[in-house]
């Protein structure tokens, strides 16, 4: 089996080796701190050895629960937001047929998502689609108190109970939450739902390799063992005793911090494969929530190429020089599409006849890299052999490990997210939630 490969040749320019070597001690310290567990946020390091510590019993339990839903449902709605949503969404978008919702024959339930927004029309349309369909629910919330998923669950639970009765609904609802705390734990225990636990020491954005991500992925028919296997391979490749230059997570973390110090405040995660769009959304939460604090942190952005070359390409080529790119480059496509010759050649494309579509895409990728580097945009490249469960598992762990290292190099606590509470407090105050009387008064005075 291959591994994903990080290439930083086009990232640091002249003196790259020296720059990297001088950044090595800080990265090595960060790795030591992570592994000793004596740094900031050290009660949230459960992800560090998560892949290698998942047991056969845990995997079988997840697969059995997935089977229970598969046997009963044509649609399963995974309810959650942030880390309780993006991991599964990213993996499913990467692995699924892009037009899965148009396919009439499904070998596994269609996994849809809810609770990741408060869109009334979104929920109306979802409820409408679920009418007279056999559906089930996976309700995911680590805290068990997040408003968006709680609201979606209230609506969909009622609909399910109305459609199949309370008893059968219990066979189709699985809750993933804290072992003892939170409203969802209480509700699940009271109703007698099957539950999975999100370990206390695994933060939401690091939880894709717990049942949070694994259950929806298994329900959709994908091989969670391969996903975990890939993550284990990367856990070893980025291990504590691997020398700095051979540890891709350390090199990535060090490189982005060198660039940040040099004024590159924005990192754009680029893909040339639309299936990776949501992988970037997952990555944005991982890095945004981990590093964006104390008025510090690279702003994680993303683009889909070549699509966005026709919209954001101008800015990236010529705009303010505060950006760098990290390109997710997929080596091998799953399918083959050859460009046909055309006798009339009215579109002038006969020079491409006989080539695969991916050859055109690869030249777009190379041409873009050269143009952007020439334009002053440092370029990191992560080569992914193919989009499979195994390599996605590698990629997930690679980014998680690098995120921990990078946050410690930056000097922040990469494992908390205090800033997220500000909007929640205001929303509750505006909605008049009991207990928020003083905040309600204060915010109304601002209106
Ligand atoms: O899983 P939950 O507790 O519902 O949290 C879901 C998400 O919302 C929070 O506000 C945090 O900012 C995220 O880190 C978290 O992943």
Rg (CA), the chain: 23
Q: Is 127 in the pocket of ligand 1 (CB under 6 A)?
A: no
pLDDT in tens, the chain (447 residues): 899 999 999 999 888 999 999 999 999 999 999 999 999 999 999 999 999 999 999 999 999 999 999 999 999 999 999 999 999 999 999 999 999 999 888 899 999 999 999 999 999 999 999 999 999 999 999 999 999 999 999 999 999 999 999 999 999 999 999 999 999 999 999 999 999 999 999 999 999 999 999 999 999 999 999 999 999 999 999 999 999 999 999 999 999 999 999 999 999 999 999 999 999 999 999 999 999 999 999 999 999 999 999 999 999 999 999 999 999 999 999 999 999 999 999 999 999 999 999 999 999 999 999 999 999 999 999 999 999 999 999 999 999 999 999 999 999 999 999 999 999 999 999 999 999 999 999 999 999
In this structure, is the dihedral angle defined by the CA atoms of residues 377, 381, 386 and 389, taken in order, positive or negative? negative
C-alpha 138 – ligand 1 centre gap (Å): 16
Q: Is 205 in the pocket of ligand 1 (CB under 6 A)?
A: yes
Residue 424 appears among annotated catalytic residues = yes
Structural domains of the chain ordered from first start:
5-39+228-410 (3.40.50.10490), 50-222 (3.40.50.10490)
Q: Among 79, 197, 204, which residue has the most ligand 1 atoms within 8 Å of its CB, making it the best to mutate?
A: 204
Q: Is 84 in the pocket of ligand 1 (CB under 6 A)?
A: yes
Look at ligand 1, atom 16, and give the residue with the nearest C-alpha.
Answer: 83
Kindly give the number of the ligand 1 atom that is closest to the alpha carbon of 80. Answer: 4
Report yes or no: 147 and 427 within 8 Å, Cβ to Cβ.
yes
Q: Is 141 in the pocket of ligand 1 (CB under 6 A)?
A: yes
Q: Which helix (H) or strand (E) holds 19?
A: helix 16-36
Report yes or no: 82 and 149 within 8 Å, Cβ to Cβ.
no
Residue 289 appears among annotated catalytic residues = yes
C-alpha 397 – ligand 1 centre gap (Å): 20
Contacts (Cβ under 8 Å, ≥6 apart) of 177: 139, 140, 141, 142, 144, 184, 185, 188, 195, 197, 198
Task: Give the separation between CA 314 and CA 295, rounded to whole angstroms.
Answer: 28
Catalytic residue among 36, 186, 261, 424: 424
Kindly give the number of the ligand 1 atom that is closest to the alpha carbon of 84. Answer: 1
CB atoms within 10 A of CB 386: 13
Does pTM surpass 0.90?
yes
Report yes or no: 19 and 12 within 8 Å, Cβ to Cβ.
yes
Report yes or no: 59 and 210 within 8 Å, Cβ to Cβ.
no
The CA dihedral of 420, 423, 426, 427, to the nearest 10 degrees, is -110
Residue 42, burial from CB neighbour count under 10 angstroms (0-12, 13-18, 19+)? middle
Pairing mode of beta strands 135-140, 266-271: unpaired
Contacts (Cβ under 8 Å, ≥6 apart) of 190: none
The b/e string for 346-362 (b: 16+ C-beta within 10 A; e otherwise) is eeeeeebeeeeebeebb
C-alpha 330 – ligand 1 centre gap (Å): 30
Give the DSSP per-residue string, 340-364: PP-SS-TTS-GGGTT-BHHHHHHHH
């Amino acid at each position: 089996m291959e591994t994903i490969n990080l290439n930083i040749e086009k990232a640091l320019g002249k003196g790259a080796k020296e720059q990297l070597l001088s950044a090595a001690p800080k990265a090595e310290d960060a790795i030591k701190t992570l592994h000793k567990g004596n740094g900031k946020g050290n009660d949230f390091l459960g992800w560090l050895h998560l892949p290698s510590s998942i047991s056969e019993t845990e995997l079988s339990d997840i697969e059995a629960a997935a089977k229970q839903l598969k046997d009963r449902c044509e649609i399963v709605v995974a309810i959650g937001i942030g880390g309780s949503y993006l991991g599964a969404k990213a993996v499913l978008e990467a692995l699924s047929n892009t037009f899965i919702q148009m396919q009439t024959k499904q070998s596994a339930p269609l996994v849809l998502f809810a609770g990741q927004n408060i869109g009334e029309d979104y929920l109306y349309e979802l409820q409408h689609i679920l009418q007279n369909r056999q559906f089930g629910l996976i309700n995911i919330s680590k805290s068990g108190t997040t408003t968006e998923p709680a609201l979606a669950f209230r609506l969909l639970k009622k609909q399910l109970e109305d459609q199949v009765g309370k008893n059968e609904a219990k066979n189709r609802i699985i809750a993933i939450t804290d072992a003892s705390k939170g409203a969802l734990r209480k509700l699940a225990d009271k109703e007698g739902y099957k539950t999975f636990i999100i370990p206390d020491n695994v933060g939401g954005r690091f939880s894709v390799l717990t049942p949070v991500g694994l259950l929806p992925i298994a329900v959709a028919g994908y091989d969670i063992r391969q996903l975990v296997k890939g993550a284990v391979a990367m856990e070893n490749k980025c291990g504590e005793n691997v020398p700095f230059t051979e540890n891709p997570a350390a090199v990535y973390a060090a490189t982005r911090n060198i660039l940040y110090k040099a004024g590159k405040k924005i990192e754009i995660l680029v893909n040339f494969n639309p299936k990776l769009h949501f992988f970037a959304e997952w990555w944005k939460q991982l890095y945004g929530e981990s590093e964006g604090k104390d008025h510090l942190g690279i702003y994680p952005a993303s683009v889909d190429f070549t699509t966005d070359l026709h919209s954001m390409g101008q800015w990236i080529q010529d705009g303010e020089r505060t950006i760098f790119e990290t390109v997710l480059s997929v080596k091998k496509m799953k399918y083959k599409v050859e460009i046909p010759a055309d006798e009339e050649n009215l579109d002038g494309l006969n020079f491409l006849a006989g080539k695969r579509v991916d050859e055109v895409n690869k030249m777009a990728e190379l041409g873009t890299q050269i143009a952007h580097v020439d334009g002053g945009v440092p370029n990191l490249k992560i080569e992914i052999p193919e989009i499979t469960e195994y390599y996605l598992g590698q990629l997930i762990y690679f980014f998680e490990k690098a995120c921990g290292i990078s946050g410690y190099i930056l000097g922040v606590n990469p494992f908390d997210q205090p800033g997220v509470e500000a909007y929640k407090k205001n929303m509750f105050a505006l909605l008049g939630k009991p207990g928020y009387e003083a905040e309600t008064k204060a915010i109304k005075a601002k209106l």
